[in-house]
Chain A
Amino acid sequence: MSSRKVTFMGKLRVSEKNLGYFLVIPALAVVAVMAFWPTLAAFWMSLHDISLIFRTNRFIGLENFKTMAGDPAFRNALHNTVYFTAISVALETLLGLVMALVMNGAFKGRGAVRASVLVPWAIPTVVTSTMWKWIFNTDYGLFNFLLKRFHVISSYLNWLGDGKLAMGCAIMADVWKTTPFIALILLAGLQTISHDLYEAAMIDGANWWQRFTRIMLPLLLPIGLVAVLLRTLDAFRVFALIFVLTGGGPADATEVLSTYTYKVLFSTSNFGYGSALAVSMFVSVALISLVFLNFIRLVTRSS
């Protein structure tokens, strides 16, 4: 196939493979300028002591990463990020699956439901975060009002002012917003599963649970993993939600890697250490992707 010759622009005869390379050059150039160069620059800056304020710019090797290893604020942010990512993605996947199953069924007004489910996903994060900030407000928030009205709590809780509760609130807001994303991808996956498979299984006497675990879940797994991967990467880099909802407080309880990096970069103008933090995020995200992609490859090969 690669040795096949094709005619290019009426004259040139080139192999199809070479033509392919030629045609992706513009796209690659854009990626190189827009993605690779800034990434490499961040790597390079992470090996320097750069302070805009004190006008220092000197090479210090891995010193920034050593500082990071002993920086309790970094460890706290890393811990919070992993916690936030694990819990929110797990909840989103479970709820998303349930939503997809419901939407996959035949019922009246299915189109309207499918469209309305997307609303949270369609609103900009900054807007939904501001909305949730008011919902969780201690004195006037809807959340406290409803919980008290239905006697779940006896007195108002300080949702965003208590470390543990604040993280829970952030996770809840994230789940509300991004579950539709997973649900939609899973729904698309569900619809590619041929009905013949279910019918054959039914003829063989498989009950609902067997059809669900033996046919639906295995066939949904590859696309489901891709959805989970995308969500994990997004959740790991969460910024706008936390920035608006709590600003990382109270007492650093919701400080995540991206908000901490932002503060170091732009509040203190410490570009060397800030870049090192950004690089650590990049590496974490790359590792997560690698693990997931290998897993996806394994799954698709075995099936």
Chain B
Amino acid sequence: MKTLIGNRGGILMRRVLISALLACLFLTVLIVPAAVAQEKIKLTLASMKTFGIDTMPLLIRRFEKLHPNIEVEFVEMPSPNYSTEIHQYLVTTLAGETGDIDVFTIDCIWFPEFGEAGWLLNMDPYIAAQEKANYFKGAIETVSYKGHQVGMPWYIDAGMLYYRKDLLDKYGFKPPKTWDELIHQAQVILKGEKNPNLHGFIWQGRQAEVLVCDLVEFLGSDGAVLDDKGNVVINNEAGLRAAQLMYDLIYKYKITPESVNTYDEEPSRQVFTSGNAIFLRNWSYVWNIAQDPKESKVVGKVGIAPIPAFKGSKSASCLGGYQFAVNKYSEHPKEAAELAKFLSSPESQLYFAQKISFAPTRPAVYDNAKLAKQNPFLVSLKDVFVYATPRPIHPRYPEISLILQSEFSKLLTNKQTPKQTVDAAAAKIKALLKK
């Protein structure tokens, strides 16, 4: 009997034990991940590729150390010269209105478009009002849409004039301040050098976004595509003057080769750094390459200056650069805003400036003694950034840009006159904005 009961009790005990074990197992399976998830918030940062492979990952690690409850996953997008592809990735990801990415890098020209689409988190509740004064005014304007700050400034870039110091010195010239000076200097030097491979002035005329950047600079401080009220003014006097200059540089003064209409940044840079151009319009990245003996035949022979202007008018330098923004549909807006703020902090900006020469959007960072010693070029750029001029600010900017690219490409291939160009561009943009 006893043994029987004992046996039965044994079976019962075993059953209870097994059940309890199973229950424990179940509970751990259910509870442990939940507990871990509660502990760590996962954010996804989609950043464009920079030339420093580990620059962003190292900074992320520092952020994770400061915020042990946050884990950041890093998604690398293509480098900025594939901005069309980055745009496509961001549009298709953000249009899903899910929190697939929390923080991302965004070209400064996309703020009106993404802002209008309602994809950008309003940062105003997350930043102190006086904090805005610590940035360049243009940088804050860039990341704002309809009165709200919808991004955090990262770095600034602007068009500038590279010139051959050795050649200008040889002919007793100072860096040109006006277009007339530039044309005169180029013609004199070309005549004197008698080098059939040497070009006067190289810029970017390929049917691509960069053509609009160059256009903004030729328009100068008096011209614009859209005025402050959003009216189309590309066909006014200053617009016609810019189109005429672009045409004349190629076909009248012949200091710019016709092949400029196939150049974007890199091909134009190569002409200059192989010693075959006196003047080049390009972004700040050219400087480091021009000083690299492996890449450049003009090491130590290059100077920079603001983009020339028309007489009686001021220089305009096309504003560029990527900024940070937070996805409005992020599941952790507070933490994501924290990450964006961290990436835009003085410490991070100094880090980017020192590691990959990204020009800070906080003027105070330029005063850092260490940076001035290490990268005097970057610090000297402050003078160029004073003239930074944004491209047309409008949610339909991508379409406006396509129209400008097409019409001005026709001008540069001698298919239409400057007058026809600005009139056609104005008519098409007006028709677009009426939609």
Binding site for B on A (CB under 8 A): 52-55, 73, 137-140, 156, 158, 160-163, 246-253, 263, 266-270
- Asked if B116 is at the interface of the complex by the 8 Å CB criterion, the answer is yes
Query: Which of chain B's residues have a CB closer than 8 A to the CB of A52?
Result: 91, 95, 117
* Segment at the A interface, from B25-33, B125-133, B212-220, B406-414: B406-414
Taking CB as reference atom, which chain A residue is nearest B95? A52
- Which residues of B, 385-434, contact A by the 8 Å Cβ criterion? 395-396, 398-399, 401-402, 405-406, 409-410, 412-413, 415
- In the bound complex, how far is the Cα of B258 from the Cα of A268, in angstroms? 29
What is the CB-to-nearest-CB distance from B425 to chain A, in angstroms, rounded to a whole number?
13
Let me know if B261 and A161 touch, CB within 8 A. yes
Q: How big is chain B's contact interface, by range? A: 35 or more
Once A250-B261, A251-B415 are accepted as A-B contacts, the answer to whether A266 and B88 lie under 8 Å apart by CB is yes
- Asked if B271 is at the interface of the complex by the 8 Å CB criterion, the answer is yes
- In the bound complex, how far is the Cα of B270 from the Cα of A268, in angstroms? 31
Taking CB as reference atom, which chain A residue is nearest B395? A53
Contact of B262 among A55, A160, A252, A268 (CB under 8 A): A160
Taking CB as reference atom, which chain A residue is nearest B211? A249
Let me know if B398 and A267 touch, CB within 8 A. yes
Let me know if A140 and B270 touch, CB within 8 A. yes
- Asked if B206 is at the interface of the complex by the 8 Å CB criterion, the answer is yes
Contact of B258 among A137, A158, A267 (CB under 8 A): A158
- Asked if B118 is at the interface of the complex by the 8 Å CB criterion, the answer is yes
- In the bound complex, how far is the Cα of B110 from the Cα of A269, in angstroms? 12
- Asked if B84 is at the interface of the complex by the 8 Å CB criterion, the answer is yes
Once A139-B276, A161-B259, A161-B262 are accepted as A-B contacts, the answer to whether A250 and B413 lie under 8 Å apart by CB is yes
Query: Which of chain B's residues have a CB closer than 8 A to the CB of A248?
Result: 207
Known A163-B415, A253-B413, A268-B399; 12 more pairs at CB < 8 Å: A54-B395, A55-B117, A158-B257, A158-B258, A249-B261, A250-B206, A266-B91, A266-B92, A267-B87, A267-B399, A267-B402, A268-B396
Let me know if B95 and A266 touch, CB within 8 A. no
Let me know if A251 and B113 touch, CB within 8 A. no
What is the CB-to-nearest-CB distance from B304 to chain A, in angstroms, rounded to a whole number?
23
Binding site for A on B (CB under 8 A): 84, 87-88, 91-92, 95, 113, 116-118, 197, 206-208, 257-262, 267, 270-271, 276, 395-396, 398-399, 401-402, 405-406, 409-410, 412-413, 415
8 A-B pairs closest in CB distance: A249-B207, A138-B259, A251-B410, A266-B88, A161-B262, A161-B261, A251-B409, A160-B262
Contact of B398 among A162, A249, A269 (CB under 8 A): A269
Taking CB as reference atom, which chain B residue is nearest A141? B259
Taking CB as reference atom, which chain A residue is nearest B276? A139
Query: Which of chain B's residues have a CB closer than 8 A to the CB of A161?
Result: 258-262, 413
What is the CB-to-nearest-CB distance from B251 to chain A, in angstroms, rounded to a whole number?
13
Query: Which of chain A's residues have a CB closer than 8 A to the CB of B276?
Result: 139
Let me know if B412 and A250 touch, CB within 8 A. yes
Taking CB as reference atom, which chain B residue is nearest A270? B399
Query: Which of chain A's residues have a CB closer than 8 A to the CB of B396?
Result: 53, 268
- In the bound complex, how far is the Cα of B205 from the Cα of A161, in angstroms? 9
Query: Which of chain A's residues have a CB closer than 8 A to the CB of B262?
Result: 137-138, 158, 160-161, 246, 249-250
- In the bound complex, how far is the Cα of B118 from the Cα of A250, in angstroms? 35
Taking CB as reference atom, which chain B residue is nearest A155? B196
Q: Would you mind naming 30 contact pairs between A and B with Cβ atoms under 8 Å apart? A: A52-B95, A53-B117, A54-B395, A55-B117, A55-B118, A73-B406, A137-B262, A138-B259, A139-B259, A158-B261, A160-B262, A161-B259, A161-B262, A247-B206, A247-B208, A248-B207, A249-B262, A250-B261, A251-B406, A252-B409, A252-B410, A263-B402, A267-B84, A267-B399, A267-B402, A268-B396, A268-B398, A268-B399, A269-B95, A269-B113
Let me know if B117 and A251 touch, CB within 8 A. no
What is the CB-to-nearest-CB distance from B150 to chain A, in angstroms, rounded to a whole number?
14
Let me know if A137 and B267 touch, CB within 8 A. yes
Taking CB as reference atom, which chain B residue is nearest A254? B207
What is the CB-to-nearest-CB distance from A168 to chain B, in angstroms, rounded to a whole number?
14
Taking CB as reference atom, which chain A residue is nearest B408? A251
Query: Which of chain A's residues have a CB closer than 8 A to the CB of B271?
Result: 139
